[in-house]
Structure formats: C-alpha cells, structure tokens
Structure 1
C-alpha cells in the first residue's frame, strides 16, 4: 500500500471517489441521508435536486429551503456540489454528469435516487402523467447511467451504479399507477444494464427501500404500515443509506444485476 492509499484508507472507504446522488432536496428524505453517508465515507458528492416537484406534493419543500439542506450537509465546497435539474428534459441527465466531471474530474458512483410521484388510479391516469413519470423515473435513470458509463475511466476501481425501485414487484400499487409502472421499468432494466457494463468492472444494482419514514404519509397510513412491520416502525433513511454506502464500496464488488429488497420483513397483508 502506498502512502496515498494508506491516507485514503484512514479517511474512509470511499476516499478519493466521486459520487453523483440525485433527488436530494429535503433533510427528511432518503437522498439527504445517502449523501451524508457517502460524505462520511470520504467521497466527494455532487447532488441534484428539483425542488418544484416537492412544492407540488403533500409533504412540501424543506422548511429551510435548498440552502438549508446543503448547509446541513456541510455546505458547498471541496466535498460537496449542487445542481438544479429537471429530468423531464432529456438533456439534463447527461448535463448533471458533465457538471460533476467539470467540478471533480470524474464520477465513480452514480446513485439515481430521484423519483416523480403522482396519485393516479386507473380511473384518473392520464397520458401526460404516464409520459412524465416514465421520462423522469425510468428514462432519466437510463440516460444517467449512459452518461456515467461514457465518462468512466475503467482503470479506476469502484465503478458503481445504484438505482431505486419501489415495492411494485412484490404487491400492487393501484393508486400510484404512473409511479409504479415507471419504477417497475427500473426493476426490469437492472439485469440488462448490469450485463452492458459488467465487462468494464462497473456494477449495477437496484434498491427497493420499502416503507421509509420521510414525512409524507398520513397518520392513519403510518399506523397501518407500522403494524405490518415486525419492528413496529417504518424504515429510516439512514438504514437505506448504509446499504447504499456498502453497495458503493469495494466490499460489494462481487454484487451486480441484483434488486435488493430492504424492507424489514414488511408484511403487506396485515391491516
């Protein structure tokens, strides 16, 4: 081990590596916890947000605004950068990766955590929302992966793509059709993206985090879901973050093409 490698090891398992994390806009959110965990592991991180989406949702924007989110992550500087980008624009995924390369020189880890949510049942679903959910959730994830792979130097260790699906492959989500369908596409693309990149030493895995308490659920839904979890509580963002940090590390180098259900034993049939 060289002197530089020894110093990196002391700084953390991801020291010297650069990550892009999408969907970072609320301190209560999974993206925030992911970024904090990767920073603590020594990575430099560029985060993407699209706060107008939060403003349109029941949970709303972060009370401290995006400036407060970034400050809580340690502030912009040598370790942290930020871009605002709407993945409804097909050019934005590549632009986000370009911004990370311009800022940090390269990208080793892509965490596509962003998601567009819309409450539409079969009776309510519209072509416009189906197209938008597909564009943001599924197409955005593919184009981010494409841009990541295009800039990746295969001589560097630790090439990682980590995508996010939901529980639609385990139980119906009939009141969230555009979201569930587009997240189902991410589940199905995992093996094919992995195959496309495995010979380059880049792993591709997808996380289904299960029910995670990020402040969006009603009191009744919170109670009902907690009753369906053996621990009697929802998952926590930091629990998802630890899984992602492991997948981004050298310890997970042999894992690729997998959809990992991190759900705490969620029993969907319990009322």
Structure 2
C-alpha cells in the first residue's frame, strides 16, 4: 500500500508533479499530447526534476467529449507499463474519472489516482482506489466538461473558498466510507473547473484554507486564469505566470504543484529554497 503520509514526511519544499497528457487534444499542448510521444515526454520530465508524474488519457478541458474506458486504458496503461520497466522507482499518478481505468492502472502499482470529478462521475472510483492501496486526489469541480462554464455551476455566493472546502469535505466523507484511509487523501482546489477567473484568483489567495482538510495538490499550470490576467490567449505563452503562481503556492505550503514546465518551476523553487536557507 502506498502511504501518502510517509511519502510527504520531511519534505521541505513542494513536490513537482509533471503533467503527461496522452490525449491528443490537450488544452495546452494540442496534438503534441499524442499518446505515441508520451513516453519520451514522461522521461524528459523525470530528467528535468519531476518528483512524480500525472498521466492522463482523457481531456477534461471545457467542452471536451467523454471517451470510452477501453480507449482511455489503451492510452495510459501501455505508458505505465513501459515506465515501470525503464523507471521502476518513478511515482505515478493516473488522472482519470473512471473506475475501470483506475483498476487497469493499479495492476501496475500506480501510487495515486487523481479524480478531477471529485467522485461525482463514478463513485466506484474510491472503492477501486482503496482496494488497490493507492492515494486519492479529490479535485474540486462541478458539472461536466461540457457544462462547467454554465453560470449555475459558477455560483458560490460570496465565499468561493468556503464552498470549495465544504464540497471537498463531503467528497472526502464518501471516499473514506468507501475504504480510502483519511491520511491517503489529497485535495485540489480545481482551478478553472466551474469557476470564473476572478473566482480562481480569490481561491488562489486563500488556498491555504484547504489545509484544514489535509495535504494540498494544486494545478494552475498554463490555465485560463493566467491568460485572463496576462492577456495571453495562447496557453504556451503563460510560463512566467505559471512560475510566479507556483512560487506563491510554495509560500502557502502546498505539498504538490502540478505543472507542464517542470524544469523552469524546479529552477524557480531551487532559487527560492536557496534564498530562504
């Protein structure tokens, strides 16, 4: 069984989770996220300093379509299998909403299941994760990729952070009831998922409030909230914003930062660590 608490013990800086999209239509990488090139990209991110990898076979960007579990498995499991062969010590997370995909990946001893749907899409995901002895990321979201931008899902009253914490707390209750140990849960505020940019920024300022639940994983790499602020419609042009926001997350003691640009974020964190030593 993977013990998240042990894995995070003694860490004095955020761990960097490298994003490996094997979807072919990533919001930030487009066709460059092809499954055929995913292994090369995964190895490069590990060489650049990624502490762990998050592998996804289904895009959940706004407007994306659901793909069958078998197709998603065909994208991620061969990659996991090959990484286990060439980098057996790599810590691997699978970004999926589907219990069938999680079960197939857990056959290869992946350590983390990252559910962007917060157990709303497939409640069996928690049971499968528990049976596989993996940690579970609960990422806040509402609606579906097709509907998450609808105003009804973006209504948090005057307290977006409080609402996010409350809804994650309820998801944690479901996960624990399904057998996932409380100390094997991670919490992601879900930047960009059913939130307007100004809500994302308010949530970022208050991200440390999620620590009342447990350890926090945050992914805002190249996201639209950065493009909205910086006037950068192209996600690939949001590197500077990603680095700045990652340093802010580090200052708020976020345990894991999920990014595309691993080398640049690792360099920034090394400089920060040196200055604070």
Structure-1-length-normalised TM-score: 0.40
Higher helix share: 2
Larger radius of gyration: 1
